[in-house]
Structure 1
Amino acid sequence: MADTWREQLLPASFRGETFLIEDTSVPVGRKVQLHEYPKRDEAYAEQMGKVARVHKISAFVIGPDCFEQRDRLLKALETEGEGTLVHPWLGQLSVVPGQCEMSHSRREGGMVTFDLTFYPGNAQLNPSVRTNTSRMTAQTSASYWSSALDRYKSAMAKVDTARINLVGLQNRLTSVFSVVTTQFSPLTSAVGSVTSMAQMLMNSPGSLSSLFSGYFSDLGLSSFSSNSSGKTTSASAASFNSYSAALATVSSQAEAAASINTVSAASGADTTAAAQALSNLVQDAVLVQATATIAEMPVAAPPATEETTASLEQQVVAPVERAEVPVANDVIAARDALDDAFWQAALKADATYYPVINAARQQVVRHLTAVAASGVQLVSVTPPETLPALVLAYRRFGDATRDGEVIQRNNIKHPGFVPAVPLQLARE
């Protein structure tokens, strides 16, 4: 049996702040300018385009906490810019709040009424210049790696390899080798074991740096060049799949970089210096790879808004196609973790290398901040009752296909029973 019209109504809200609606109206149709001429019986109706859909809504908030509800709604109405209006009859709309009127009455204690006006969003803006932070981040990663190679070569040039203790060097490279195998798996066969890596560092330190340069070249990063005669195992070109996968990768890279920030002091100064030089090179390689991953993450474009929302039955037959949007909270968490890893690496850099790594850190933070600004915020929402995830997604977003987002974000055990507890959901 089909739902009644009352059951199909969506809970009204603006920028996530809910309210109740008494009645609403909106002009529709097309603008027409009528031209009448003297001494002529016929008139000319000139079509002037569609009528702007200016929504007039009589709304109210009610309850013991009506003043708190009122203040939150006022903040949403007085915030500059466009926002999402969930209209009970028309679904999600991108609108701009206009002049509204708020009324209090002693006879209607516990209730605050509003006469709301919303204008159509997506207004045409004047041309503006926007910095391509993604491209700048990609360029930064190349210059960063070039400086990292120079530091490694300079450090190894000061090491007397004849005075290196192989066993001591091997012990201090265990964590470094672990990072190489997890973050640069194509190099595992070339490096072999921690013992062979220590021997390569003693006998041919340039071959290790060439392996990493070849690895970056094989990834399709043309800015990196390899001066080795041999090639590492082939790897596919770096590409962006999804924000969630990219952020998980960046978080893992930040953790790996932080784990090898320093090595323990060995019995000999040359052994310690050699181990620290390779540790710095691998740490830089991880951070360069993280920078290249971040450069692939685009700043999300504003989603195209629909005039109306399809019913739940229609979405079952023809699911809504929605471009992925980053979750700002996740992007900021990854940004802060990577920023901390960069800081740890920068604090042990000399005066020549510090500006390079600090410039890379600033560019990474700048781009991830832009990505986060283009994403959505998380808010705490408590369902009024236990609901299926599909129904909750439809009521919250007007999009039943986002039920997986609700389930994954809140670790729901059964998609048919979302408990009435505080949940983390996207604001829009």
Structure 2
Amino acid sequence: MSWRDQLEKASFRGVPFHISRSGGEVGRRVQLTEYPLRDLPYAEDLGRKARTFTLDAFVLGPDYRAARDRLLAALEQPGPGELVLPSRGHQQVVAQRCSLEETTEQGGMARLSLEFAEAGKNELPNSQIDTEAQLRQAGDRLITVCGQDFAAQWKIGAQRLKGDLLTALEAGVGDFLEALVAAQQTFDWIERQLGALERIEQQVDQVINSLEKLLGTPAALYQRLVGSLQRISIRLQRFGQDFDSIVTGRRPNGGTQALDAVKPLLFESPARHVMLPSTPVNVANLRNRLALDQATRIIAVTQAAMALPTAPVLASADLIAMRDTVFEAIDTLADQASDLTYPALLALKAATIRAVAQRLPATAQLREIWQGVCEPALVVAWRQNGNLDAELDLVVRNDIRHPGFVPDGRTLNLLKT
């Protein structure tokens, strides 16, 4: 095949034209430094120079004006476009300059002098939306709005609240404290690591003991409640990290356990099951209970949502399950929220969606495998992934009694590592 047979038809952004001459420039970007009293200069290479293309183009024919206008419109479009040259193939370029010439001596023809430069890629500097910061802002906004709503609903004259507050808070942390006691009995050698978590119960007691002073100041009561629930959320997350890493020596996956421990705070509503005579004092007390219950659950779900971008999870399925739990709690609260709190709840949900979506690509995927023979978990993990990183998760996730004997005849969930 001769070179003439390999020539392509010239075009830019799909608009054809003819070429009478083509050229261009290539080379290196060089900073030449000449020093006084020295004969030899120093040439500093700064990289390849952008390639440029210069063309003498023309369009002709009975409808040359329509072809001319299409080409001019393509040249004026923003951004890079594809330039096809007869002898140099396809190039991604940007149009830099175009001069148009039409004469009466050459009717039915328009000549154009064109200059293009290669488009390249904008790799650095690179920017990325900080979805975690947006989530924190949405959470802080919701806590602020919820505090305003709580102060507006709180009736200062009501005093019978101490026992109900204790019930509501203990319902949220009771399961976790029981699990903590069991863990201490089983693992005495990590008592110091788990001992710090006992302060959670002390912080709850401090809120109860100072309740009488806070009853007359709903704003101070709300801030005290926010502080306690924030510390509980942080401790629960650290428990998920420290406990797993201490016991197993492997990568932590305690985020789901930590969220399960605070589920009562997200969903349960003890105040809504209280039946009292319809006296003015009891009605005011019940309204206070409902306001405190709503505020507690909103603060708890906010802390849970804000922990999702950094919660210790191994599999994307676990992260999605945690996200769905938070969404279920948000939807439940939104059905009962005031006009002031409702938009902030939706904003928190939207920010959570963006933050979790940004984290998911970096989280390991789960796959189902069929186990046809009985063999150790180490062998299964190595055969499927070529490493042993998923061996412990395989045992825990599939409830295998002994890691040396993975039973056959069943489907297993295994991390892709």
Counterpart of 1:131? 129
Once the two structures are superposed, residues 226-285 of structure 1 have per-residue CA deviations (whole angstroms, 9 ceiling, x without a partner) of: xxxxxxxxx899799476222322343344211128623643321221111111121122
Partner of 1:17: none
Equivalent residue for 1:425?
414
Measured at CA, do residues 256 and 217 of structure 1 come closer, stay the same or move farther in structure 2, by a change above 3 Å?
Answer: closer
Higher relative contact order (CA 8 A, sep 6+): 1
Aligned pairs (5 A) from 1:158-177 = 159=155, 161=157, 164=158, 166=160, 169=161, 172-173=164-165, 175-177=167-169
Give me the whole-angstrom Cα distance separating, in 2, the residues matched to 1:357 and 1:412: 40
296 and 261 in structure 1: CA distance in 2 versus 1, 3 angstrom threshold: farther
- Aligned counterpart for 2:316 among listed residues 320, 324, 328: 328
Code of the aligned partner of 2:283 = A
Counterparts of 2:381 and 2:230 in 1: how far apart (Å)? Answer: 44
Structure 1: how far apart are the matches of 2:148 and 2:384? 54
* Distance in structure 2 (CA, Å) of the matches to 1:355 and 1:416: 53
Residue 261 of structure 2 corresponds to 252
**1:263 aligned onto 2:272:** yes
Q: How well do the aligned residues superpose, as a CA RMSD in angstroms?
A: 3.5
Q: Counterpart of 1:176 in structure 2: which amino acid? A: A
SS of the equivalent of 1:419 reads coil
- The aligned residue for residue 224 of structure 2 is 211
Select which of 361, 373, 380 maps to 2:349.
Answer: 361
1:344 aligns with 2:342: no
Partner letter of residue 257 of structure 2?
A
The CA distance in 2 between the partners of 1:252 and 1:245, in whole Å, is: 11
TM-score, length of structure 2 as denominator length: 0.53
Give 1:200 shift.
5.3
Looking at structure 1, the residues matched to 305 and 386 of structure 2 have their Cα atoms a distance apart, in angstroms, of 36
- Within 5 A, what are the aligned runs for 1:25-104? none
Matched residue of 1:423: which SS? strand
Structure 1 stretches lacking a partner, 5+ long: 1-123, 222-234, 298-323
Question: What letter matches 2:404 in structure 1?
Answer: G
1:279 is the counterpart of 2:293: yes
- The answer for the alignment partner of 1:145 in structure 2 is 143
Cα distance, 1:217 vs structure 2:
7.9
Deviations 1:18-74 (A, max 9, x none): xxxxxxxxxxxxxxxxxxxxxxxxxxxxxxxxxxxxxxxxxxxxxxxxxxxxxxxxx
TM-score by length of 1: 0.52
Question: How far apart are 1:399 and its partner, in Å?
Answer: 0.6
Amino acid in structure 2 at the alignment position of 1:131: I
Distance 1:362 1:140, change over 3 A: same
**Cα distance in 1 between the residues matched to 2:415 and 2:122:** 26
Distance 1:150 1:236, change over 3 A: same
| Mapped contact 2:367–2:416 kept (Cα < 8 A) | yes
The one-letter code of the counterpart of 2:205 is S
How many residue pairs were aligned? Answer: 257
User: Identical aligned pairs, as a percentage?
Assistant: 18
Instruction: Write the letter of the residue equivalent to 1:357.
Output: L
Give the Cα–Cα distance (whole angstroms) in 2 for the partners of residues 141 and 186 of structure 1. Answer: 26
| Matching residue of 1:407 | 395
Contact 2:240 2:253 in 1 (8 A): no
Aligned to 1:187: 203
- Letter in structure 2 aligned against 1:423: L
Match of 1:227 in 2: none
Structure 2 stretches lacking a partner, 5+ long: 1-120, 177-199, 242-250
- Deviation above 6 Å: which 4+ runs of structure 1? 216-221, 235-240
Instruction: Specify the SS of the correspondent of 2:390.
Output: helix
Whole-Å separation in 1 of the counterparts to 2:136 and 2:239:
13
Q: Aligned letter for 1:296?
A: T
- 8 Å CA contact 1:262–1:279 kept in 2: the answer is yes
Q: Residue 293 of structure 1 aligns with which residue?
A: 307
* Structure 1 contact 377–426 (Cα < 8 Å) conserved: yes
Whether contact under 8 Å (2:254, 2:313) holds in the other structure is no
